[in-house]
């Protein structure tokens, strides 16, 4: 069992997965906020590698990515930061990156560097499962979970394919669109989760394996939303609101308070 899968092993526990962009607003801020989030009760941490064309991200993370690029943050620097963070925190670390930076780095070279830096998983929004075979083999060789995404419009065939290929957990996108804090979550999420869970449970039972944890992201921005979604999924991913709070309060006390509120809300779900 991978470290990511182990994070979901605790019964009746919904995982809290914060996202931050590496190098926003600075490398120093990244090195401060990740241990703070770990201390505040998160179970995994998603580290975004800044990219010039983040097509799945809304304005908040786009700006954070642009700022990090202005700061000179590269995939190599992200790997160095991850290695330092891995010495400070015990929770699994996951890179979120678009495919182009990984391809330019070299698939095997990047995964080898990830393993040496203590990265446990990869999320690549623009890599469809139909095109991920080569990277799946390489990540497996390096003990890294390659995590695929599903949307509310995913077909039954796509759900089955992702259920077969995704490792660690399956990333459920709450909306058709980009990331970003939202006042209200769209209707129909419970039905979406139920549909995916039914498919993954059936496939897992047929293979004699435990079903995939399902984690929901894109738009969750309040403890109330986290509590609501925590009743139906195994993990909740929160990014844009954390980025906003990092901008509002350089001391990070607002981030710490928010993270603790999210942890409490999920414990109540």
Residue-wise pLDDT for 163-177, tens only, equals 999 999 999 998 654
> Average pLDDT over the chain, rounded to whole?
91
Per-residue pLDDT band for 180 (boundaries 50, 70, 90) equals very low
Nearest-Å Rg of the Cα atoms of the chain is 17
Domains in the chain, number:
1
Catalytic hit among 28, 39, 43, 46: 46
Q: Examine residue 206 and state whether it is found in any structural domain, yes or no.
A: yes
Residue 173 C-alpha from the chain's centroid: 11
**Any catalytic annotation for residue 141?**
no
Q: Examine residue 69 and state whether it is found in any structural domain, yes or no.
A: yes
Answer for the pair 69, 50: CB distance below 8 angstroms, yes or no. yes
What backbone torsions phi and psi does residue 70 show, to the nearest 5 degrees?
A: -60, -30
**Parallel, antiparallel or unpaired: strands 149-150 and 145-147:** unpaired
- What does the DSSP 8-state code read for residue 165? H
Q: Examine residue 7 and state whether it is found in any structural domain, yes or no.
A: no
By CB atoms closer than 10 A (0-12, 13-18, 19+), residue 264 is: middle
Q: Examine residue 44 and state whether it is found in any structural domain, yes or no.
A: yes
Range of the domain at 214: 14-264
Per-residue pLDDT band for 202 (boundaries 50, 70, 90) equals confident
Q: Which two tokens stand for residue 29?
A: 């801020």
Q: Examine residue 108 and state whether it is found in any structural domain, yes or no.
A: yes
In the chain, % of residues over pLDDT 70: 92
Q: Examine residue 2 and state whether it is found in any structural domain, yes or no.
A: no
**CATH number where 135 lies:** 3.20.20.70
**Any catalytic annotation for residue 46?**
yes
Catalytic hit among 39, 43, 57, 267: 57
Strand order of the β-sheet with 93-96 is 145-147, 119-123, 93-96, 45-48, 15-21, 235-238, 214-217, 170-173, 149-150
For the cut 70, the answer to whether the pLDDT of residue 92 exceeds it is yes
For the cut 90, the answer to whether the pLDDT of residue 186 exceeds it is no
The whole model's pTM is what?
0.93
Q: Examine residue 9 and state whether it is found in any structural domain, yes or no.
A: no
């Amino acid at each position: 069992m991978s470290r990511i899968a182990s994070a979901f092993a605790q019964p009746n526990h919904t995982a809290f997965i914060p996202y931050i962009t590496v190098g926003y607003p600075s490398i120093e801020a990244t090195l401060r906020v990740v241990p703070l989030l770990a201390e505040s009760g998160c179970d995994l941490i998603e580290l975004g590698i800044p990219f010039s064309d983040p097509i799945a991200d809304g304005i908040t993370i786009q700006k954070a990515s642009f700022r990090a690029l202005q700061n000179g943050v590269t995939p190599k620097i992200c790997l160095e930061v991850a290695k330092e963070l891995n010495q400070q925190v015990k929770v699994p670390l996951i890179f979120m990156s678009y495919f182009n930076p990984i391809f330019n780095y070299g698939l095997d070279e990047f995964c080898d560097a990830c393993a040496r830096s203590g990265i446990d998983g990869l999320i690549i929004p623009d890599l469809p499962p139909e095109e991920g075979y080569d990277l799946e083999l390489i990540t497996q060789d390096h003990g890294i979970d390659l995590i695929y995404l599903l949307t509310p419009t995913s077909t039954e065939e796509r759900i089955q394919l992702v259920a077969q290929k995704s490792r660690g957990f399956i990333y459920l996108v709450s909306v058709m669109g980009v990331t970003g804090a939202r006042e209200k979550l769209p209707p129909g999420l419970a039905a979406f989760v139920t549909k995916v869970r039914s498919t993954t449970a059936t496939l897992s039972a047929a293979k004699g394996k435990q079903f995939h944890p399902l984690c929901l992201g894109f738009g969750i921005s309040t403890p109330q939303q986290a509590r609501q979604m925590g009743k139906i999924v195994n993990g909740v991913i929160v990014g844009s609101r954390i980025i906003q709070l990092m901008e509002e309060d350089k001391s990070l006390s607002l981030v710490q308070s928010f993270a603790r509120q999210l942890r409490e809300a999920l414990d109540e779900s």
